[in-house]
A and B are shown apart, each in its own frame.
Chain A
Amino acid sequence: MSGGATTLLAWMQSGTTSADTGDEQAIVQQLLDQAQAQPQATHEFYSVQIVPMPKPLRVGGLTILTEPPAEQGSSSSWDRVQKTELLTQFDMRRMAASSGRLLIAHVESGLMRPAQLAFAAELLGDLPSRAHAERSLLEVLRHESSLVRERAVYGLAKLNTSTARETLRRLSALDPSPGVREAATEALGG
């Protein structure tokens, strides 16, 4: 069995309930499919697992937990993707390399330290979900740290949408930080 699938199955236990709806069954199937197709993408499994669910799901004699059991709550792998304060650049890069949903969730949680947010902001520019990434970046630009805003400029430059370009034009003239204004100007080709 692949490494990714092993990680996934570590969160399964015997149980008695069943998946009641098609949506629940679909989530379970998505987990299993991803485990087989992307053995390295363990963060994405977790991101699916933390979708709020009313109760554990029983499928094929196993129960998939929607949150880690208490006695396993200290798992470093789980904590590192669940707890914003523990996220490293390595973790965030891994999240961005998959769908980026979990990375956006952390950014939008409002719990990231400024340095984490700065690193995540630039990664947002690489995500396939450009509309969602754009919304997050526009929010990040309100941060008081000029370094966070500078990295958000680089994220917007990579997105290169019409909204992003218009925002860069505004920043190049109005941001209070000279470094952010310069970064925005250069991002526009100036």
Chain B
Amino acid sequence: MLLLRIGRDKTLWEATNSIEMIIESAFSDEHGKPELAVSVYQIGLHEVVRAFVEHAAAAELNPPNGKPCVDMTNALARVNPDPLPGPFALVRSSHCELIFRDATELTGVLLRIREEVATRLHKVTSADVKAYVRGQLAAGDTEWLAYAATHPKWASL
């Protein structure tokens, strides 16, 4: 199983970005406080694209371009199931929060992840997004048929 953090940026884990910048950009709230309850999805490897796409759809976002997502599995943080509302069963059932004791523990885990990022990154492409949505609609997935009926940007992918 993975603890998948949905990515927002393509370059976050590239070497030119310091760990301080990673924390401030992707693991802090809008007032600059480090997030000690990190939103992730506890899923299988085969569900990465589905989680990425349905996370965006459930949040009422436009269809996203591809982004790398990172597996945040670690031995320190506590996994707290945190079911989300919304039209997609995977989002409802697999969303969790990774609970860190403090900013030091968060930083330590992110440093470890950064060292291992080559094996922890799961890249989802824009083509993956389109293929998944089209496939679900073609297969008659009732969740997606209902969602597409009220979300034309997704229906026209």
Query: Which of A's residues lie within 8 Å of B, judged by CB?
Result: 88-90, 93, 113-116, 118-119, 144-147, 149-151, 177, 179-180, 182-183, 186
| A/B interface sample: 5 pairs, CB < 8 A | A88-B30, A89-B30, A115-B20, A147-B21, A151-B9
Contacts of B156 in A (CB 8 A): none
Asked, given contacts A113-B24, A115-B21, A147-B21, whether A89 binds B32 with beta carbons under 8 Å apart, the answer is: yes
B65 at the interface (CB under 8 A from A): yes
CA distance A118 to B11 in the complex (A): 11
Q: Mark B1-20, 1 if CB is under 8 A from A, else 0.
A: 00000000111101011101
* B residues lining the A interface (CB < 8 Å): 9-12, 14, 16-18, 20-21, 24-25, 30-32, 65-66, 126
Inter-chain contacts of B25 with A (CB < 8 A): 115, 118-119, 147
Q: A88-B32, A89-B30, A113-B21 are in contact. Are A150 and B16 (CB under 8 A)?
A: no
Question: A145–B20 Cα gap in the complex (Å)?
Answer: 12
CA distance A145 to B25 in the complex (A): 12
- Find chain B residues with CB under 8 A from A149 CB: 11
Complex Cα–Cα for A113 and B32 (A): 12
Q: Is the CB of B10 within 8 A of A182?
A: yes
A89 to chain B, nearest CB (A): 4
Nearest CB on A from B113, distance (A)? 16
CA distance A116 to B30 in the complex (A): 11
